[in-house]
Copies of this chain bind each other. A is one copy, B any other.
């Protein structure tokens, strides 16, 4: 964009950190924090990469985007790197977040320790159920949705977490954005549409499971035969323009009716 396609901005760092690198920085930070707690002074790219579960070359390239920290022949200073990455990620400042939708998941999130630590602070819990209002969850009283805009505004919240049912997610999202939130972490199984400039990250348990199921199925299909087996007896009928909508579920051993209701 602004930087064009510069591989490396000459002297200074920062401007163009690739997304993939940003996504790994928290991993490095976690590994480094663990080392820091054990008072390990320095670490090599090989060791750290191993701890973070990545390739060492990748790690070095990632760090090269931040700048030339690290000493050749020695490695990286743990404490210094912790600070630099924290700073780059914006964790040296306090980020108030709100959680909307205090059901099972929302409550679990509120109780999750990972939120409170590392620069994030649960500023408020919000739910549409009036019977929840005032009740404390994880030591924080739940507030009603009516207060949403005021809460966002008063606390200067820019990050919102949506843990509502799918049906309410877009509406909540719109209100959050309208109130000034520019980053959203969405746990509801819905595609959120937001104006430009607003970041949305999605956490979807169902999708993750389905991806696992795909690989699981592929493994199961290859293991027994040990043969490529180009086609596993295609049971399905061709598209056929005029097919009856509800495929009777006859020819297929199992119930295809994937949808519950």
Chain A interface (Cβ < 8 Å from any Cβ of B): 2, 9, 12, 14-15, 22-23, 25-27, 29-31, 33, 36-37, 39, 41, 51-53, 68-71, 74, 76-77, 79-80, 82-84, 86-95, 97, 103-105, 107-109, 111-112, 114-120, 158-159, 182-185, 189, 191, 193, 197, 199, 201, 203-220, 222, 228, 230-232, 236, 239-241, 243, 245-247, 249, 252-256, 258-260
Contact = CB atoms under 8 A, between A and B. Distances in A.
A236 B108 contact: no
A79 B199 CA distance: 33
Nearest to A37: B259
A106 to B, nearest CB: 8
Given A41-B243, A213-B159, A92 B15 contact: no
Contacts of A103: 108
Contacts of A76: 239
A29 B76 CA distance: 46
Q: Which of A12, A51, A206 has the most CB of B within 10 A?
A: A206
Chain A binding site: helix, strand, loop or mixed by DSSP? Answer: mixed
Given A79-B246, A91-B213, A243-B80, A118 B206 contact: yes
A213 B254 CA distance: 41
A186 to B, nearest CB: 10
Contacts of A104: 107-108, 111-112
A4 to B, nearest CB: 11
Contacts of A217: 89-90, 93
Given A2-B228, A119-B258, 19 more contacts: A26-B204, A39-B249, A41-B245, A52-B191, A53-B191, A68-B239, A77-B243, A80-B258, A82-B259, A83-B247, A83-B259, A86-B256, A87-B256, A89-B217, A90-B216, A92-B256, A95-B213, A120-B209, A183-B213
Given A80-B247, A205-B109, A259-B83, A193 B53 contact: yes
A118 to B, nearest CB: 6
Contact of A90 (B52, B214, B256): B214
A31 B114 CA distance: 32
Contact of A230 (B12, B89, B116, B117): B12
